[in-house]
Amino acid sequence: MYRALAAAGGYRALADESGWPADDFERWVADTLQRNLLAATAAPG
């Protein structure tokens, strides 16, 4: 999952072509990984 989100092509599409600041892209990758990977390991409540 990390590789797909942080791939150079994804960065180019969002940051270079769409104008996202690098900090926003980094935050988006981190937030997406946390939501998807950590939620999968959380114990049911």
- Of the candidates 2, 45, 36, 39, the one whose C-alpha atom is nearest the C-alpha of residue 11 is 2
- Residue 27: the pLDDT is 93
Cβ atoms within 10 A of the Cβ of 33, count? 14
pLDDT at 24: 93
The residues of the chain scoring below 50 in pLDDT are none
What are the tokens at 39? 């939620």
Both tokens of residue 8? Answer: 């150079």
Phi-psi region of 29 (alpha: psi -120 to 50; beta: other; left: phi over 0): alpha
Predicted local confidence at residue 6, as pLDDT? 75
Q: Is the pTM of this model over 0.95?
A: no
pLDDT the model gives residue 42 = 60
pLDDT of amino acid 41 = 66
